Amino acid sequence: MFVDIAKIHIKAGDGGDGAVTFHREKYVASGGPDGGDGGRGGNIVFLADTNLSTLADFRYKRKYAAKKGENGRGGRCNGKKADDLIIRVPMGTLVKEAETGRILADISDDQPVIVAKGGKGGWGNTHFATPTRQTPRFAKPGLPGEEYDVQLELKLLADVGIVGFPNVGKSTLISVVSEAKPVIANYHFTTITPVLGVVRMGEESSFVMADIPGLIEGAGDGLGLGHQFLRHVERCRLLVHMVDVSGSEGRDPKQDFETINRELKKFNPALAGLPMIVAGNKCDLTDDETVENFRRYIEAQGYRFFPIMAAIAYETQPLLNEIREQLSKLPPITRYEAEPAPLPDESEFTKQEVHVEVHDGVYFVEGEWLLRVMRTINFDDSESLQYFQRVLIGSGVIDALKAAGIQEGDTVSMYDVEFDFVE
């Protein structure tokens, strides 16, 4: 079964905890702290696999979790970092945050992409030793790994998409111009999944063509399997609109052409703006006057028209030559950039719950909401830092620190960030 959309839950591994240990050795007095750091949790990594063509495997397994990093040990031994969890998906898969639709990754080449980062390991008590704090009896716990509900969407990577009503000859065309072997029969919806074929035009010239299953009126609104099929046209650089010029099924070719264009625009207005070539198939079932009449109608709208008989590959070469010529002038296949997480609204963080603990003069601040905010902060950017400062004031963190007795110059530790307190 062809599946091109799936929802799964991914959880990167938590970081290991830092160790609180002290050096013990005969004849060595006051050996000092020697607790090691925790190991990093495993990342969730997505990798394209050319042997996969659908997302069907994700119907049976919905939860993916990487392992936690090892805890630190004595003798300054750091915990082992956990292995990354690799999730293999078909080439052309978009990974989106399910709740917001934010694009996390576009898996369109053979490079692995980290979608959820494992938590950093906590510091052992070795890091907290100072001339005035020689026996720190505390360490940092590991940070939790990132966690998302994600939606996977497969959008085929094809240069050319063939669109049109069912049974107009799309599968026949791709079978005669490429090595693809789609199911071909004289009834509607013979093709129920998109089919890719590589069209070779010479030793160093080729392009990928996609046979998009037949569309019907209302496809743009999801009628039939419209949304499922139209999704695969979005990456195409060029469309070949195939029409049965003979009207062999009792439909008007002109109305067919207008209907499909209307459904493309309804689904995504950008599709209506894609370059398009019109192929008039089944010319042997009608007379020359009908074909020429349809040609004038198409060319009046600014499109190139090619009459063909796909079943016997008649006049398909001029069509392929025109496709190659147009592709040489067009930009490459669309690739989607990952979208950064937006900064939360400051008004969300008025008087939040804050937990402050003091260990040997270090003020540890924790809160689930605080960790969520910190993941969106770029600490190398001044504007982002100013936003973070306003959140700390508005949420009550600064007031909580003052209530705990913090003084100018004392150390504040918030998960993996540490700084001196300044009034």
Predicted confidence at residue 220, as pLDDT, reads 43
Give the per-residue pLDDT at 214. 60
What's the rounded mean pLDDT across residues 175-186? 71
Per the CB < 8 A criterion, the answer to whether 37 and 122 are in contact is yes
Of 22-31, 169-178, 275-284, the poorest mean pLDDT is in 22-31
193 confidence band (pLDDT: 50, 70, 90): low
| pLDDT band of 3, cuts 50, 70, 90 | low
Q: What angle do CA 388, 392, 393 make, to 5 degrees?
A: 120
Which residues contact residue 34 at a Cβ distance below 8 angstroms, ignoring those fewer than 6 apart? 21, 22, 23, 74, 75, 76, 124, 126
- Better-scored residue on pLDDT, 213 or 283: 283
How far is 73 from 255, CA to CA, in rounded Å? Answer: 74
Give residue 187's pLDDT: 45
Note the CATH architecture for domain 1-154: Distorted Sandwich (2.70)
Q: What is the pLDDT of residues 131-177, one digit of tens each?
A: 777 788 888 888 889 999 999 998 888 899 888 888 888 888 988 88
Instruction: For domain 347-423, give the fold.
Output: GMP Synthetase; Chain A, domain 3 (3.30.300)
Which class is 160-327 in CATH?
Answer: alpha beta
Write the pLDDT tens digit of every residue in 211-230. 877 665 554 444 444 446 67
Q: How far is CA 37 from CA 30, 68, 106, in A?
A: 21, 14, 34
**% of residues, the chain, pLDDT over 90:** 36
pLDDT digits (tens, 9 = 90+) for 222-261: 444 444 667 777 888 999 999 999 888 888 999 999 988 8
Q: What is the DSSP string of 185-207?
A: -SSTT---S-EEEEEEEETTEEE
What is the pLDDT averaged over residues 99-122?
A: 93
> What is the reported pTM?
0.76
- Structure confidence at residue 50 as a pLDDT band (50, 70, 90): confident
CA 4 – CA 2 distance, rounded (Å): 7
- Position 342 pLDDT exceeds 70: yes
Top-confidence residue, 154 or 267: 154
Q: Name the range with the highest mean pLDDT among 17-31, 287-301, 337-351, 389-403.
A: 287-301
Domain coordinates in residue numbering, the chain: 1-154, 160-327, 347-423
Alpha-carbon distance of 244 to 279, in angstroms, equals 9
Q: Which of 7-16, 69-78, 182-191, 291-300 has the weakest average pLDDT? A: 182-191
* The predicted structure's pLDDT at residue 222: 47
Report pLDDT for 183: 55
Three-state helix/strand/coil letters over 355-409:
EEEEECCEEEEECHHHHHHHCCCCCCCHHHHHHHHHHHHHHCHHHHHHHCCCCCC
Q: Mean pLDDT for the chain?
A: 85
Looking at per-residue pLDDT, the higher value among 340 and 106 belongs to: 106
